[in-house]
Amino acid sequence: MSYDNLTGRTAVVTGAASGMGEATARTLARSGARVALLARRTGRLTELAAKIAADGGTAAVVTVDVTDPDSVTAATARVHEIFGPASVVVNAAGVMLPNPILAARDDEWARMVDTNITGVLRVIRAFVTDLVTAADAGHPADLVNVSSIGAHVAFPDYAVYGATKAAITQLSAMLRTELGPRNVRVTNIEPGLTDTELGSHIDNPELTDQLDGMFIAIPALSADDVADLIAYTVSRPAHVNLRQIVVLPTKQA
Ligand code: NDP
């Protein structure tokens, strides 16, 4: 799927090395946007940029670690150097590291908080002025944050991950009160089970088996399903703000 009115817009997509970020970058590029591809794995981003170019789109590789403030500063400068200011920012970078709270995995807690919350804030800080400037010039401007159904639904052993996603859902709602009056749209998207690499970092075999079981029981969303919603959202007329999207596989309760 593609939408035909993103020509002239520059999109920054984090998490573009895989999953939803990668699919979103491809869909936005097919819809005419110039896309900056942000993640840590340069090789994956380079392959994606080549695919986008082969499809007739425009993309640039911008390697970044969102947990490192200096890396985000350098990436911001690189995006501006290549494409100028952004008018779409999609925060899809994230990690999910479940474990029982009694396992006391403060290494995982720190990584999730720093990637899923502070990393998102760093990217917002980097590009929010671009969004306000685009809106001031009468152009559509979009901040899209990928939260999760885990922001609302309680799963055992996913407490810290769910808490980081609840923070993003609330952050998005609060930012609308500041950015909506400036004509910058803020969209929070809460997907359910989606077939990506997200579960591959789990280091608890029981929880890996549990997640594998969910993928057997429930036909999951694809990353393209979520990308399509994001591209649809940012291609609406500028006064239309889809502010909260909950998207689940039909069979997921
Ligand atoms: P993936 O693991 O496929 O994608 C996550 C992306 O984040 C990767 O491209 C990864 O690239 C990037 N990333 C991770 N850490 C960093 C970092 N420190 N700096 C920069 N980039 C980073 O999973 P999904 O596509 O599923 O995840 C996208 C978002 O969707 C996440 O926020 C996730 O929480 C959320 N989500 C996922 C659901 C699912 O069922 N899959 C359901 C609900 C929400 P690299 O390693 O190269 O840096």
Buried b (16+ CB within 10 A) or exposed e, 36-68: bbbbbeeebbeebbeebeeeebbbbbbbbbbbe
In a domain, 173, yes or no: yes
97 close to 161: Cβ distance less than 8 angstroms: yes
In a domain, 143, yes or no: yes
What's the whole-model pTM score? 0.98
**pLDDT for 43:** 98
89 close to 75: Cβ distance less than 8 angstroms: no
List all residues whose CB is within 6 A of at least one atom of ligand 1. Answer: 14-15, 17-21, 39-41, 44, 64-67, 92-96, 115, 119, 146, 148, 191, 193-194, 196-198, 223
Total number of domains in the chain: 1
Q: What is the mean pLDDT of the chain?
A: 97
How far apart CA 36 and CA 63 sit, in angstroms, is 10
Q: Is the pLDDT of residue 4 over 80?
A: no
Tell how far CA 166 is from the center of its chain: 15
Answer with the residue of higher pLDDT: 173 or 2: 173
**pLDDT for 124:** 98
172 close to 233: Cβ distance less than 8 angstroms: no
**pLDDT for 5:** 86
Residue 124 structure tokens: 């917002």
The band of 3, judged by pLDDT with boundaries at 50, 70 and 90, is: confident
Span 186-208, pLDDT tens digits: 999 999 999 999 999 999 999 99
Span 117-169, pLDDT tens digits: 999 999 999 999 999 999 999 999 999 999 999 999 999 999 999 999 999 99
Q: Whose CA is nearest to atom 32 of ligand 1?
A: 94
In a domain, 253, yes or no: no
CA angle 157, 160, 161 (to 5 degrees): 90
Q: Tell the burial category of 142 from Cβ atoms under 10 Å away from its Cβ (0-12, 13-18, 19+).
A: buried
Average pLDDT score over residue span 28-56: 98
Span 50-59, pLDDT tens digits: 999 999 999 9
The band of 171, judged by pLDDT with boundaries at 50, 70 and 90, is: very high
In a domain, 252, yes or no: no
In a domain, 194, yes or no: yes
Average pLDDT score over residue span 19-26: 98
**pLDDT for 60:** 98
Q: Which atom of ligand 1 is nearest to the CA of 114?
A: 18
Q: Is the pLDDT of residue 2 over 90?
A: no
Distance from Cα 63 to the centre of ligand 1, integer Å? 15
Span 77-114, pLDDT tens digits: 999 999 999 999 999 999 999 999 999 999 999 999 99
Instruction: Clarify whether 161 is annotated catalytic.
Output: yes
* 46, 95, 251, best to mutate for ligand 1 pocket (most atoms within 8 Å of CB): 95
Q: Which atom of ligand 1 is nearest to the CA of 23?
A: 25
In a domain, 10, yes or no: yes
Q: Whose CA is nearest to atom 21 of ligand 1?
A: 39
CATH assignment of the domain containing 59: 3.40.50.720
**Strands of 76-183, DSSP E:** 88-91, 142-146
Q: Whose CA is nearest to atom 23 of ligand 1?
A: 198
In the chain, what percentage of residues exceed pLDDT 90?
98
Could you tell me the maximum CA-CA distance found in the chain, to the nearest angstrom?
Answer: 53
Q: Is the pLDDT of residue 36 over 90?
A: yes
**pLDDT for 1:** 72
Cα-atom radius of gyration of the chain, to the nearest Å?
Answer: 17
Query: Which structural domain range is residue 111 located in?
Result: 4-247
**pLDDT for 253:** 86
In a domain, 174, yes or no: yes
**pLDDT for 196:** 98
